[in-house]
Amino acid sequence: MNPARTNPFTNRKPLQPGGREVFLKRLRQSLGHNAAQTPPLTEPPPALDESLIRQCNDAGPALIDRWIAKAKTNSMIIHRTTAEPAAIHAALDASFAAHNPAKILLNAADFDTRFSLAGHLTQKSVIRWTEPNCRETAFSCDASITDCRAALADAGSLVVWSDASFGRSSTLVIPVHVILLPASRILPDLIDGLQFIRNQNPAGLPSNVVIINGPSKTADIEMNLITGVHGPKHVYVILIDGM
Amino acid sequence: MTAPAIENHKSKENQSSTRHALPIFSSDFMGDARRASVNEALHAATENACVKKDAGRRALLPRDFANPDGLRTLAGNIKAHTLDHLDFYVEQLEANILKNGGQVHFAATAEEANQLIVQIAQQNQCKLIVKSKSMVSEETELNRSLIDAGLTPIETDLGELIVQIANDHPSHIVMPVMHMRRKQIGEIFAKFFNVPFTDEPQALAEMARVYLRDTFNKADMGISGVNFAVAETGSIVICTNEGNGRMCTSRPRVHVALMGMEKIIPRFADLSVFLKLLARSASAATLTQYTNIITGPKRPGEFDGPDQFHLIIMDNGRSRILASDYRDTLRCIRCGACLNTCPVYRTVGGHAYGSVYPGPIGALLTPLFNGLEHHEHLPQATSLCGACYEACPVKINIPEMLVLMRRDLKSVGKLKFSQRVLFRLWTIALSSKMLYLLGQKFQKLTLRHAIHSDAGWIKKLPGPAKGWTQARDFPKPPAKTFRQLWQERKPRP
């Protein structure tokens, strides 16, 4: 133990305000460092022993099955389809069956082009993210369709992040959320997910990354599980094989 | 539904008294604990929540990890390393936040942190403020300062909203209204929203949803806490289940995050350790519903997100703790596992601790922040059973530090005359072989032949020791002392 450590109950001088310099000086002194300058690191942070952290190392069909099992325990509803427009349209219809949404936000441009999603939803009012005022319109939508960047099998998670074509609100403010997930995007573990996020963004992380583990929920009232407090109440995943 | 205004609640603390680093709701631990320990409704609520979470944590960790103890050691070591080099990591975090287009402010005290937030609000003409659940904002009594400055803060976590409407205090760091029954919550909502009474949880949550949705849309500013701040990427991480944290940081045009300076972790990859441990320890889940990693404000071309991102890094006495034998308390990730597992917390509830940080970790943090002289009972509010140490995901040795703190009672003049005499005599007796042996003889004579002894247990001790046997039996000393046994068994040379 550091012999220079002080009794925190008898050395109680009031902390002087004064912004950054005073703050850092006090911090350095409390660590026994030179008050004027922060010393360089003398040792690296402890090595991350993967054998302690990793929960899933599956590949292939086992990986997909593991993700499905975990996602179901997270109250996500999964429709597994082939990469054919008709199959995806059927999965969309199945997802919307119980909700009959009138106004749908579409934030999956690549999928729309390839599978003609809007073309299938001609009976609905479809709003595309990146339309003017989409931020405001999103609040009044009944359902949203988005893609995602990755899925993680260890906890049944989905990974999304914001950029010029993908909004924060698309996955947040709308009661019914349908997510398109090509099976090839499933990764085994959170460790791989974090690595993937960094690799895909070598210049720096996106402004807003979210790891989603199912619908919004709370247990604040006598531990009763309630879904849909602020975020989506229902989360559907269309899991697409062969894409 | 109309959106009623939340009353201008003042702090329950005496406004004229000196401001403490942490607000004190009560300094009468003994009285509060005695009253709470016979409150059956509180017991039922506390047991229900704590037992469930504690059992869930115990089941999940060995199910999911081959070596959960090793994982906790790793987490503790990463935190210990970060604290030992905190000046380096604070500067690295600051540099990376600035690089990402955010702004960083340093606050020495709670009051300074609050005033920085008020200034940011005023400079940007923000009036309506949505807040996601944050223990550090309870520490600084941020809402009081915002209201005093004419601003309107609204809590958006369901539990915290109930606390705010009822002008109450959270009783648990993860489950703020654990002490309330649903009937009580129903009554609070019926009055506030002016609607017929219901205690159906889904209906109550729906009322909050409708009310807060409107608020999220109108708010100018969002305030959040920080679960982890990643130094190497300049990111902050917020873990929520309801999605209110995402609302507060995504919709308003200004986002302010407030953190104690100990919240830093060095590397992005460290999140794999901490996110897994936090969710299991806090809520017996494999991951929180939403793990939100925020790196600066909205980028050019993006359609939503805040225009400004501010991070406030606060000391408020943490530097004093860093310099002391209690540095390890700053490893805490506020999961609440030590509360859920603690026999004392489960008996007296959160409010008896009189502070925003209750339970075993609170029994350490509260005196460290506020001075031991105001909280002399807290280091005694433990059976030293060690359950908190076993539960802690970052291996804070809470029992050991509670004993250290009992030692430090002397330095603040909080040891009674009788205690001082007793400890003095004890020291003399234990320093002399002859006195030690005499003491042993005396102890055997009095205890082994105590008239009330029965089947190996003593039902009643005499004189000043009778308090011990009021609620439990005392073990009868064995027929032979350890020294005698040792003499008998020692191989002869």
pLDDT digits (tens, 9 = 90+) for B173-184: 999 999 999 999
Per-residue pLDDT tens over the stretch B154-166 = 999 999 999 999 9
Of A25-34, B36-45, B201-210, the range with the lowest mean pLDDT is: B36-45
**Is residue B12's pLDDT more than 60?**
no
Contact B176 A220 (CB under 8 A): yes
Q: Cβ distance B323 to B317 under 8 Å?
A: no
Alpha carbons A64 and B354: distance in angstroms, whole number: 50
Residue B392: name the closest of B89, B176, B75, B160 by CA.
Answer: B75
Alpha carbons A173 and A167: distance in angstroms, whole number: 11
B interface test, pick of A33, A135, A220 with most B CB neighbours within 10 Å: A220
* Residue B16: predicted pLDDT: 38
Q: Which tops the pLDDT comparison, B47 or B152?
A: B152
What sign results for the dihedral spanned by CA atoms B219, B12, B331, A26? positive
Distances (CA, A) of B44 to A239, B49, B181, B182, B359: 43, 9, 9, 12, 17
Q: Which DSSP state fits B24?
A: B
Mean predicted lDDT score pLDDT of chain B: 91
Q: Quick one: CA torsion of A73, A76, A77, A81, rounded to 10 degrees? A: -100
Q: What percent of chain A has pLDDT over 70?
A: 98
Per-residue pLDDT tens over the stretch B347-397 = 999 999 999 999 999 999 999 999 999 899 999 989 999 999 999 999 999
Show the tokens assigned to B465. 């020791």
Alpha carbons B164 and B157: distance in angstroms, whole number: 10
* Residue B1: predicted pLDDT: 44
- Give the SS3 label for residue A50: helix
Show the tokens assigned to B410. 């002397």
Nearest by CB: A130 against B158, B294, B303? B303
B47 vs chain A: nearest CA distance in angstroms? 11
Reported confidence tier of residue B11, pLDDT bands at 50, 70, 90: very low
Put simply, whether A230 touches B (Cβ < 8 Å) is yes
Domain definitions of chain B by residue range: 37-319, 425-489
- Give the SS3 label for residue A156: coil
B71 burial (CB, 10 Å; 0-12 / 13-18 / 19+) is buried
* Residue B15: predicted pLDDT: 44
> Which chain B residues touch A41 with a CB distance below 8 Å?
85, 88
Q: Cβ distance A215 to A230 under 8 Å?
A: no
Helix B398-408 vs helix B359-370: crossing angle, to nearest 10: 40
Contact A23 B288 (CB under 8 A): no
Of A54-58, B10-14, B42-46, the range with the lowest mean pLDDT is: B10-14
DSSP B217-279: HH-SEEEE--SEEETTTTEEEEEESSSHHHHHHHSSSEEEEEEEGGGEES-GGGHHHHHHHHH
Nearest by CB: B412 against A10, A53, A190? A10
Q: What's domain B37-319's architecture?
A: 3-Layer(aba) Sandwich (3.40)
Contact A30 B320 (CB under 8 A): yes
**Is residue B453's pLDDT more than 70?**
no
* Residue B3: predicted pLDDT: 52
Mean predicted lDDT score pLDDT of chain A: 95
Question: What is the separation of C-alpha B201 from the centre of its chain, rounded to a whole number of angstroms?
Answer: 26
Q: Give the A window 123-182 contacts with B, CB below 8 Å.
A: 129-130, 134-135, 138-139, 154-157, 162-164, 167-169, 172-173
Per-residue pLDDT tens over the stretch B391-429 = 999 999 999 999 999 999 988 988 888 888 988 888 898
* Residue A60: predicted pLDDT: 92
> Which chain B residues touch A163 with a CB distance below 8 Å?
299, 301-302
Nearest by CB: B250 against A8, A18, A208? A208
A24 vs chain B: nearest CA distance in angstroms? 7
**Is residue A63's pLDDT more than 80?**
yes
* Residue B14: predicted pLDDT: 40
Per-residue pLDDT tens over the stretch B310-323 = 999 999 999 999 99
* Residue B408: predicted pLDDT: 94
Per-residue pLDDT tens over the stretch A165-193 = 999 999 999 999 999 999 999 999 999 99
**Is residue B448's pLDDT more than 70?**
no
Contact A27 B90 (CB under 8 A): yes
Alpha carbons A77 and A97: distance in angstroms, whole number: 13
Residue in B with minimal Cα distance to A219: B175
Q: Which CATH number describes the domain made up of A56-241?
A: 3.40.50.10420
Contact B299 A39 (CB under 8 A): no
* Residue B490: predicted pLDDT: 76
Put simply, whether A243 touches B (Cβ < 8 Å) is no
Reported confidence tier of residue B450, pLDDT bands at 50, 70, 90: low
A interface test, pick of B287, B288, B327, B395 with most A CB neighbours within 10 Å: B287
Helices (H), B255-358: 271-283, 318-322, 337-341, 343-348
Q: Which tops the pLDDT comparison, A202 or B43?
A: A202
Helices (H), chain A: 19-30, 50-53, 60-73, 85-96, 109-115, 117-120, 134-137, 190-200
Nearest by CB: A229 against B74, B242, B373? B242
A87 vs chain B: nearest CA distance in angstroms? 29
Q: Give the A window 57-96 contacts with B, CB below 8 Å.
A: 70
Of A33-47, B325-339, B432-446, the range with the lowest mean pLDDT is: B432-446
Put simply, whether B311 touches A (Cβ < 8 Å) is no
A222 vs chain B: nearest CA distance in angstroms? 6
B96 vs chain A: nearest CA distance in angstroms? 10
Q: What percent of chain B has pLDDT over 90?
A: 72
